[in-house]
Amino acid sequence: MTLPIDTTSYDYMNNKTLNEDVKLKSDEYGFFDLDMDNGDYINVTGVDSLLNACIIAIMTRYGELNNPTYDEFGCQAHELPKMNQNRLFRFKLETYINDTLMKMRRIRTVNSITLTRTDVHSYQVEFDITSINDEIIKGSVVL
């Protein structure tokens, strides 16, 4: 059985190439979990699906998935926690996130990545991308 989809929505009719996914929600600490409605998953399509995919790719450690199909999936930014918090660190963090997003076939360009230090051990990562069908998508995640 598949999740219900609003086949009359603009996103479904015009952004099918961006795929579909289960909706994620963030708490006040920047952690993500599956969003539920009356005990059921909420299905998203198009732009929301691509935003979910970006968040999942950034939050997954590179090589974490034990599946040959996803050998090179994930973000290498998680390898950096013990590195000194200097300009080189910020450059590597931004580069790893950019590389992760650019590996996604549904993304045409990464327009910007903004890093804001939230405490000693974490950064707020805000990203702005253009999808393959020219939709501008903005998202953020805490690393």
Identify the domain containing residue 104 by its residue range.
16-142
Q: Rounded to an integer, what distance in angstroms lies between the CA atom of residue 44 and that of residue 24?
A: 9
Highest mean pLDDT among 23-37, 61-75, 79-93, 118-132: 118-132
Is residue 36 in some structural domain?
Answer: yes
The model's pTM: 0.78
pLDDT above 50: residue 40: yes
Confidence of residue 49 (pLDDT cuts 50, 70, 90): confident
Whole-number pLDDT of residue 16 = 57
Question: pLDDT for 91-139, tens place per residue?
Answer: 999 999 999 999 988 899 999 999 998 887 788 899 999 998 888 999 9
Residue 102: how many other CB atoms lie within 10 Å: 13
The pLDDT of 54-75, averaged and rounded, is: 84
Query: Residue 26 — φ and ψ, nearest 5°?
Result: -110, 145
Q: Rounded to an integer, what distance in angstroms lies between the CA atom of residue 29 and that of residue 136?
A: 25
Whole-number pLDDT of residue 129 = 95
The pLDDT of 49-68, averaged and rounded, is: 85
Is residue 8 in some structural domain?
Answer: no
Query: Residue 11 — φ and ψ, nearest 5°?
Result: -60, -45
* CATH at 127: 3.10.450.40
Contacts of 2 (CB under 8 A, 6+ apart): 43
Q: Rounded to an integer, what distance in angstroms lies between the CA atom of residue 2 and that of residue 41?
A: 10
Greater confidence, 38 or 125? 125
Question: pLDDT for 1-19, tens place per residue?
Answer: 455 666 676 656 655 555 6
Is residue 5 in some structural domain?
Answer: no
Is residue 7 in some structural domain?
Answer: no
Whole-number pLDDT of residue 60 = 86
The DSSP symbol for 26 reads E
Size (the chain), residues: 143
pLDDT above 90: residue 143: no
Is residue 1 in some structural domain?
Answer: no
Number of domains in the chain: 1
Greater confidence, 69 or 57? 57
Is residue 2 in some structural domain?
Answer: no
